[in-house]
A and B are shown apart, each in its own frame.
Chain A
Amino acid sequence: MSIQQQTLANGLTIIGEPKSSAQSMAAGFFVRTGSRDESPEVSGVSHFLEHMMFKGTARRSPEDVNREFDEMGAHYNAFTSEENTVYYGAVLPEFQQRLLDLLSDMMRPSLRDEDFDLEKKVILEEIALYQDRPQFTAVDLARHLHYDETPLGFSVLGTVRTVGGLERNQMRDYFNRRYVPGNMTLALTGRYDWDAAVAQVSAACGSWGNSPAGREHPALQPRTRTHIVTDRRLNRAHLAFAAPGLSAQDPRHRAADVLAEILGGPRGSRLYWALIEPGLADIAQLFHDEGDGSGWFGAYISCDPADAEEVRSRFLKVLEEASREGIRPDEVSRVTRKTAAGHVIGGETPMGRLTSVGFDWVYRGLVESVDEEADALLAVSAADCTAILEERPFNNLTTVVLGPIRASFEPVPVENGSTSNGEAGGEGFSEPDAGGR
Chain B
Amino acid sequence: MANTVIRTHRLKNGLSLVSEAIPEARAAAFQIMTPAGALTEPAQTAGSSSVLENLCYRGAGSRDAREISDTLDELGIQRGGGADLETTTFAGALLADDLDEALAIYADIVLRPTLPPDQLEGARQLALQRLESIKDNPTQQLFIELFRIYFPGPHGRSPLGSRQGIEAITVESLRSDHHRRYVPGGSIISVAGRFDWDRLIETTERLFGDWEGQASQPPAPDTSNREHYQHIHEDSAQEQIGLAWPEVTADHSDFYASRIAIQVLSGGMGARLFTEVREKRGLVYSVAAFPRTVRGAGLVLVYAGTTPERRQECLDVLLEELRRLPDGVTEDELARARAGLLSSQVMQGESCSARAAAIARDQFTLGRIRPLDEVRAGIEQVTTGSVQEHLQRFPPTDFTIVTLGPEPVEVKQE
Contact = CB atoms under 8 A, between A and B. Distances in A.
Interface string B268-286: 1111001100111111111
Given A92-B343, A132-B237, A23 B132 contact: no
Contacts of B46: none
Interface stretch (B7-15, B210-218, B246-254, B333-341): B333-341
A416 B137 CA distance: 17
A190 B401 CA distance: 43
A338 B78 contact: yes
Contact of A67 (B74, B126, B336, B351): B336
Q: Can you list the 5 inter-chain pairs with the closest CB atoms, starting with the nearest?
A: A279-B125, A341-B76, A121-B282, A73-B343, A73-B339
A276 B335 contact: no
18 contacts: A21-B24, A23-B1, A24-B350, A70-B339, A75-B343, A122-B282, A129-B285, A132-B138, A235-B132, A235-B136, A268-B69, A278-B122, A282-B130, A282-B133, A302-B133, A334-B70, A341-B94, A342-B76
Interface stretch (A170-178, A211-219, A345-353): A345-353
B238 interface: yes
B353 A268 contact: no
B66 A279 contact: no
Interface string B110-144: 00000000000111111111101101111000000
A281 interface: yes
Contacts of B29: 345
A279 to B, nearest CB: 3
* Central interface residue in A123, A277, A280, by most chain B CB within 10 Å: A277
A224 to B, nearest CB: 27
A234 B307 contact: no
Given A279-B122, A335-B73, A337-B76, 14 more contacts: A21-B24, A63-B279, A71-B336, A125-B284, A125-B307, A132-B238, A282-B132, A283-B133, A302-B133, A334-B73, A337-B73, A341-B94, A345-B94, A348-B352
Contacts of A75: 343-344, 347
B93 interface: yes
A268 B73 contact: yes
A282 B25 CA distance: 35
Nearest to A90: B347
B126 A282 contact: yes
Contacts of A330: 70
B238 A279 contact: no
B351 A235 contact: no
Nearest to B304: A125
Interface string B333-367: 00110111111101101111100000000000000
A348 B351 contact: yes
Contact of B270 (A67, A128, A337): A67
A227 interface: no
A70 to B, nearest CB: 4
A243 interface: no
Contacts of B271: 70
A345 B275 contact: no
Given A63-B275, A304-B129, A348-B352, A24 B347 contact: yes
B270 A70 contact: yes
Interface in B24-58: 24-27, 29, 58
A32 interface: no
Given A69-B268, A279-B121, A23 B95 contact: no
A273 B270 contact: no
Q: Which bucket holds chain A's interface residue count?
A: 35 or more
A349 B94 contact: no
A72 interface: yes
A126 B343 contact: no
B122 A277 contact: yes
A350 B24 CA distance: 14
B305 interface: yes
A71 B129 contact: no
Contacts of A147: none
B79 interface: yes
A54 interface: yes
Nearest to A371: B26
A117 to B, nearest CB: 9
Interface string A54-69: 1000000011001101
A273 B66 contact: yes
Contacts of B124: 279
B133 A236 contact: yes
Given A337-B76, A345-B352, A119 B344 contact: no
* Central interface residue in A72, A124, A276, A338, by most chain B CB within 10 Å: A338
A134 B136 contact: yes
B405 to A, nearest CB: 9
Given A92-B346, A282-B133, A344 B235 contact: no
Interface in A322-365: 330, 333-335, 337-338, 340-342, 344-345, 348-352
Contacts of A72: 339, 343
A303 interface: yes
Nearest to B134: A235
A279 B128 contact: yes
Contact of A277 (B26, B65, B280): B65
